[in-house]
Amino acid sequence: TLKVTTALVLAGSRGGPDPVALSEGLPHKSLARIGSETMLGRVVAALREAGFERVLVSTDIPEVVSLAILLVTTADHPLLAPDWIHRLIAGSPETADVSIMLARQVDVETALPGNRRTWLRFADGGWSGCNLFLLSTPTAARALGGWREVEAERKHPWRLARRLGWRTLFDYGFGRLGMADAIARLGGRLGVRATLVPALDGLAAVDVDKIDDLLLVRRLIESR
C-alpha cells in the first residue's frame, strides 16, 4: 500500500463572480459555513482525521509542487470523509502515476434520490467526479491541466471522446467504451499511467458549485 503523507486542497476560483460566495456575502465560497465550520475547515479536518501529516491549501493556483506522492482535493468538498480517501489510496495500483475517483450514477442516486446533475455517460453507465485525485509520481503533474480540460467538457462526452482519438470516438459511438478504459486512454494521451478508482459512497460526488448545493449539504449535515 502506498504511504501518502501530503494532501493539496485546491481553493482557487475559476474567474467571475461565484453565486455561492455572493449569496453568503463572502470573498470566497470555501468560507461558507456548514454547521459551525467553514467548508474549507471541514475538508482540512477530514484530511487530518485521515492521517495526513501535511495539508497544503492552494488559493490561486501556483504550480503544483513536485512532491513524490500527493493527494489532491478541493475546498468545496465539505462532505469529504476519511473512508473515501483510504479507498482511493488502497485502490490505486503501484504502477499508476495518477488515480482518479468517480462515483457511479446508481450510487449517487441511491444516496441522493432525485438529485439532478450532469453525468459522464459511457458503456458502463453514468459517472460523476468526486474531486479526489492521487498523484503517485512527479510525472502525474502533467495530468492536471488535461483533466481540467476534461472537466470543462463534461457536458459534451463526444468532445471528450474526440480528444482521445478516432478509435476512442468510434468505440464511444458504438457503446463500447467504459470509464476505466477512457481514463487509461486519456492518461496515455497525457503521457501518464492513469487509473479509475470507483467510489463506494455516492455522496463522494457531492460538492458545492451552486446555492442549491450549499443548502443540500447543510441539510445533510444537520440530519446526521
pLDDT at position 171 is 87
pLDDT at position 139 is 80
> How far from 1 is each of 21, 23, 67, 136, CA to CA, in Å?
39, 43, 18, 12
H-assigned helices in the chain: 19-24, 39-49, 82-90, 105-111, 142-152, 157-163, 166-173, 179-190, 211-223
pLDDT at position 151 is 65
Neighbouring residues of 10: CB distance < 8 A, sequence distance ≥ 6: 58, 61, 72, 73, 74, 75
Mean pLDDT estimate for the chain: 86
pLDDT band at 67 (very low <50, low <70, confident <90, very high): very low
pLDDT at position 57 is 85
Backbone angles phi and psi of 110, in degrees to 5: -70, -40
Which pLDDT tens digit goes with each residue over 96-140? 999 999 999 999 999 998 888 889 899 999 999 999 999 888 788
- Looking at residue 139, the DSSP 8-state letter turns out to be G
Rounded average pLDDT over 4-8? 88
Read off the amino acid at residue 148. Answer: R
- The count of C-alpha atoms lying within 13 angstroms of the C-alpha of 64, restricted to the half-sphere facing its C-beta, is 25
Greater confidence (59 vs 50) lies with: 50
Instruction: Retrieve residue 139's grid coordinates.
Output: 510525472
Cα 170 from Cα 173, distance rounded (Å): 5
Rounded average pLDDT over 52-61? 79
Q: To 5 degrees, how large is the angle CA 198–CA 199–CA 202? A: 130
pLDDT at position 61 is 38
pLDDT at position 117 is 84
Which pLDDT tens digit goes with each residue over 138-181? 788 767 666 666 666 666 667 766 667 778 888 888 899 999 99
pLDDT at position 162 is 67
Closest CA to 207 of 102, 59, 100: 102
pLDDT at position 145 is 64
